């Protein structure tokens, strides 16, 4: 791939409204498709917002009527806001685009970023994003004093973790020693050009996630660099590290079109 251009849309007191950033994404997407700009990654912090991908279920949204913006990316519901670094890589890739390979490249850059700060992260089979693994299931403390065999999140279809207090809250997954997501990824591809991207939790207030079922996952939670490392990490510290690893991964990639299986006659 060619050189990657970075555009900083706003951080801290200049955090960017989601709709404003979405409009800028569409503008850059059209310009990239027309070959008017190179591959571009928009980097920013958002003002607090819940966004829902196309697969979000009604029972994963906030119970208190907090507004949610429905968007045209894959995945389910998540939160964006202060303390979270958001990146929108707008890249032209060979068609038909291999979406899975693109997601894996973004994960790779974020895994390398976390490692540079001293945090080991990984992928989880069947779940996109970057994860901190919890203890083996048999070693974890059971929420609510129940045996894990009776964890209602897994056994009761009517159970709603949003109604059951801090012991089931996604933000407390570290205390429960469960798997917890450090970075979420959700993308869309139109005309061979990618949109949307990743959100990396640096030092946000993770209790924002407790109003929803983040990414539709009930048996795991969320975390941040600061929470895992036990010290304050800032967007300012993380930004150049993310840029360096994204550039290294994306500029050295040789994307190939997705292979199409032809039915035998």
pLDDT > 90? residue 260: no
Mean pLDDT for the stretch of residues 53-70: 92
The percent of residues above 90 in pLDDT, for the chain, comes to: 73
Torsion of CA 224, 208, 197, 132, to 10 degrees: 30
Mean pLDDT, the chain, integer? 92
Phi, psi values for residue 173, rounded to 5°: -60, -30
pLDDT > 70? residue 143: no
Alpha carbons 47 and 70: distance in angstroms, whole number = 16
Alpha carbons 25 and 89: distance in angstroms, whole number = 9
Phi, psi values for residue 189, rounded to 5°: -125, 125
pLDDT in the model for residue 159: 82
pLDDT in the model for residue 264: 52
Q: Catalytic residue numbers?
A: 215
Q: Look at strands 221-222 and 77-80 and give their pairing.
A: unpaired
């Amino acid at each position: 791939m060619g050189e990657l251009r970075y555009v900083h849309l706003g951080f801290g007191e200049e955090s960017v409204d989601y709709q404003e950033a979405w409009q800028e994404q569409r503008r850059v997407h059209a310009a990239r498709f027309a070959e008017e700009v190179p591959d571009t990654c928009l980097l920013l912090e958002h003002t607090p917002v819940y966004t829902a991908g196309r697969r979000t279920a009604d029972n994963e949204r906030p119970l208190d009527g907090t507004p949610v913006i429905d968007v045209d990316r894959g995945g389910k519901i998540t939160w964006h806001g202060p303390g979270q670094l958001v990146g929108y890589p707008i890249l032209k890739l060979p068609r038909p685009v291999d979406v899975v390979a693109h997601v894996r490249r973004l994960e790779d850059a974020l895994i390398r970023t976390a490692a540079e700060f001293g945090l080991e992260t990984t992928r989880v089979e069947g779940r996109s994003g970057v994860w901190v693994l919890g203890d083996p299931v048999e070693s974890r403390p059971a929420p609510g004093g129940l045996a894990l065999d009776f964890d209602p999140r897994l056994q009761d279809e009517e159970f709603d973790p949003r109604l059951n207090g801090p012991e089931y809250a996604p933000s407390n997954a570290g205390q429960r020693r469960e798997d917890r997501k450090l970075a979420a990824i959700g993308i869309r591809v139109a005309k061979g050009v990618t949109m949307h991207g990743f959100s990396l939790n640096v030092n946000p207030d993770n209790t924002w996630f407790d109003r929803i079922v983040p990414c539709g996952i009930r048996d795991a939670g969320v975390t941040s660099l600061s929470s895992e490392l036990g010290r304050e990490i800032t967007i300012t510290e993380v930004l150049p590290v993310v840029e360096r690893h994204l550039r290294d991964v994306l500029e050295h990639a040789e994307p190939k079109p997705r292979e199409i299986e032809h039915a035998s006659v």
